[in-house]
C-alpha cells in the first residue's frame, strides 16, 4: 500500500494495517506525549499518544528521512558496520 | 470462623520499556483481586526469579516476555525456561512490536504464544483477553469470574 492510499484509510483501518504489517523503528517523548515510529512500504508513520499505546492524538505519515533524526540515537548501527 | 485467603495468580512480565510495563500492569488492574503482575526490567531478572522458586511455591499462571531486551532477550529467556525442570509446559507469551512470521514460528517451536504489542486501547483490550486465554482453563475461568 502506498503512502497516499494509507493516508486515505479511516483511523481504525490505519491502526489495524500498521498492527499487521508495520515494522516498529523507535520511540520518543515529546512533552507529555509518547511517539512511536513505524515503517510501512517505504514510508514512515508516527503515532502520538496521550497515554502510551492507548489514546492516540495524532497519526503523522511521511516519507522524508530528515524527520527520523529524533530516533537515530536508538538505532543500533553495529550490525551494518563493515569490519575486516 | 476462619476465612481462607486464596493466593493470587501470578503473571510474570519482563520488558525493558517502562511504558509497556505500566501498560500491562494497567491492563490487568481489572483482575487485581485474582491476579498479581510481577514485573522485571530485563530477562535475566525474570529468569532468576523463576529459578529461585521452590517446588512448593506456586508457579506463575503466565509469563509474558518482551523480545528485544538487553543482556538476555525474550527468545533466550524462553529457551532457558523450557530447559528448567517443571517449566516445560509453563504458559509463556512473547510480547513484541514485531509481526514477523519467523518470530511467530520461533514462539510456536518452543510452545509459546505470540502477541504483537497494541497500537490503541481497542487492541489492548483484545490483547489482555489473549493473555488470559494462554492460562490454564481453571485459572482463566477464575480470573474472568471476577469481572462478570
The pLDDT tens digits of the residues spanning B37-88 come to: 999 999 999 999 999 999 889 999 999 999 999 889 999 999 999 999 889 9
Q: Residue holding cell 506525549?
A: A33
Look at residue A5 in the predicted model and tell me its pLDDT.
96
Look at residue B137 in the predicted model and tell me its pLDDT.
87
Q: Is A53 within 8 Å of B19 when comparing Cβ atoms?
A: yes
Residue among A18, A23, A27 whose CB faces B119 most closely: A18
Is residue B68 a part of any domain in this protein? Answer: yes
Rg (CA), chain B: 15
Is residue B2 a part of any domain in this protein? Answer: no
Number of domains in chain B: 1
Q: Which long-range contacts (C-beta less than 8 Å, at least 24 apart) are formed by B45-53?
A: B45/B14, B46/B12, B46/B13, B46/B14, B46/B77, B47/B72, B47/B77, B47/B80, B47/B81, B49/B12, B50/B12, B50/B81, B50/B84, B50/B87, B51/B84
Q: Check: CB of residue B75 under 8 Å from CB of residue B94.
A: yes
Q: Check: CB of residue B128 under 8 Å from CB of residue A49.
A: no
Distance CA A70, CA A67 (A): 7
Is residue B3 a part of any domain in this protein? Answer: no
Q: What is the mean pLDDT of each run of 10 residues along chain A (84 residues)?
A: 95 94 92 94 95 94 92 64 52
Its ipTM equals 0.81
Distance CA A54, CA B29 (A): 15
Q: Check: CB of residue B26 under 8 Å from CB of residue B76.
A: no
Is residue B75 a part of any domain in this protein? Answer: yes
Task: Residue B117: list chain A partners with CB under 8 A.
Answer: 24, 53
Is residue B96 a part of any domain in this protein? Answer: yes
Q: Check: CB of residue B19 under 8 Å from CB of residue A52.
A: yes
Residue among A19, A24, A52 whose CB faces B19 most closely: A52
In this structure, what CATH number is given to the domain that contains residue B62? 3.40.50.2300
All three cell numbers of B90, joined, read: 509453563
Is B16 within 8 Å of chain A by CB? no
Alpha helix stretches (DSSP H) within B11-148: 18-28, 43-51, 74-83, 101-109, 121-133, 137-145
With vertex at residue B23, the alpha carbon angle to CA A56 and CA B59, rounded to the nearest 5 degrees, is: 155
Task: Residue B22: list chain A partners with CB under 8 A.
Answer: 52
| List of domains in chain A | 3-80 (3.30.67)
Q: Cα distance from A26 to chain B (closest Cα, Å)?
A: 10
Task: Residue A54: list chain B partners with CB under 8 A.
Answer: 23, 118, 120-121, 124
For residue B99, what are the domain limits?
A: 9-145
Amino acid at each position: 500500500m502506498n503512502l497516499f492510499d494509507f493516508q486515505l484509510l479511516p483511523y481504525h483501518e490505519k491502526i489495524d494495517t500498521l498492527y499487521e504489517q508495520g515494522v516498529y523503528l523507535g520511540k520518543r517523548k515529546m512533552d507529555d506525549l509518547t511517539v512511536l515510529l513505524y515503517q510501512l512500504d517505504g514510508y514512515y508513520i508516527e503515532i502520538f499518544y496521550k497515554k502510551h499505546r492507548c489514546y492516540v492524538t495524532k497519526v503523522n505519515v511521511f516519507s522524508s528521512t530528515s524527520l527520523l533524526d529524533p530516533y537515530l540515537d536508538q538505532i543500533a548501527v553495529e550490525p551494518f558496520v563493515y569490519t575486516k | 470462623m476462619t476465612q481462607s485467603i486464596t493466593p493470587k495468580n501470578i503473571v510474570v512480565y519482563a520488558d525493558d520499556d517502562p511504558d509497556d510495563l505500566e501498560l500491562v500492569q494497567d491492563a490487568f488492574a481489572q483482575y487485581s483481586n485474582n491476579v498479581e503482575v510481577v514485573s522485571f526490567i530485563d530477562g535475566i531478572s525474570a529468569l532468576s526469579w523463576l529459578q529461585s522458586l521452590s517446588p512448593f511455591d506456586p508457579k506463575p499462571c503466565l509469563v509474558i516476555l518482551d523480545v528485544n531486551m538487553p543482556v538476555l532477550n525474550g527468545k533466550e529467556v524462553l529457551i532457558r525456561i523450557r530447559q528448567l525442570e517443571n517449566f516445560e509446559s509453563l504458559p509463556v507469551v512473547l510480547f513484541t512490536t514485531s509481526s514477523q512470521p519467523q518470530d511467530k514460528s520461533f514462539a510456536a517451536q518452543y510452545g509459546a504464544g505470540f502477541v504483537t504489542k497494541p497500537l490503541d486501547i481497542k487492541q489492548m483490550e483484545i490483547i489482555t483477553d489473549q493473555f488470559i486465554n494462554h492460562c490454564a482453563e481453571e485459572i482463566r475461568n477464575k480470573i474472568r469470574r471476577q469481572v462478570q
